[in-house]
Amino acid sequence: MAYRVCFVCMGNICRSPTASVVMRSMLADAGLDEVVEVSSAGTGSWHVGEPADARAAAALARRGYDAGGHKARQFSARWFDEFDLVVAVDAATAGELKRLARTQHRDRVRLLREFDPLCRAASGADLDVPDPYYGGPQGFDDVLDMVERACSGLLDELRDGGIG
């Protein structure tokens, strides 16, 4: 049975789909795409069914990733039974997820940037991935930089944990 990871942000059109696309690509490159399944969701319902934000998709495409086929969906509390790891992009999202989770599932919620080697090295580092939605294109590139570093660290942790 595959190890299952879900990335979560607010609307599931910017940060969490970016993370899922990047993580899937890294897993495929590492030959682990058969043993780790990745998906994404949002805590809110306002974008359900929509594709990734065009600016997020463009930032991904500039680096050779494909966000095509993404459809936003809302995270459900029952999904804690289905996912081994639920990765929040910021503290507010993590708090919301922990409120949804039964006590035994709260430790499945982690912040994405906990896996970022730069954040691990910097005591007191801000672990939030900022929401680029209301800003310009550079914000999406900055988010992608953070996501790539953090997903690389997550990949290392998955390998160290015996996955693959």
Structure-block tokens of residue 95: 């708090």
Structure-block tokens of residue 155: 């990949």
Sign of dihedral through CA atoms 21, 27, 29, 33? negative
Q: Interhelix angle for 54-62 vs 15-29, to 10°?
A: 30
Active site residues: 9, 15, 131
Q: Please answer whether residues 7 and 36 qualify as being in contact, where contact means their C-beta atoms are separated by less than 8 angstroms.
A: no
Q: Please answer whether residues 7 and 38 qualify as being in contact, where contact means their C-beta atoms are separated by less than 8 angstroms.
A: yes
What gap in Å lies between CA 79 and CA 64, rounded to an integer?
30
Sign of dihedral through CA atoms 82, 84, 90, 96? positive
What gap in Å lies between CA 114 and CA 126, rounded to an integer?
10
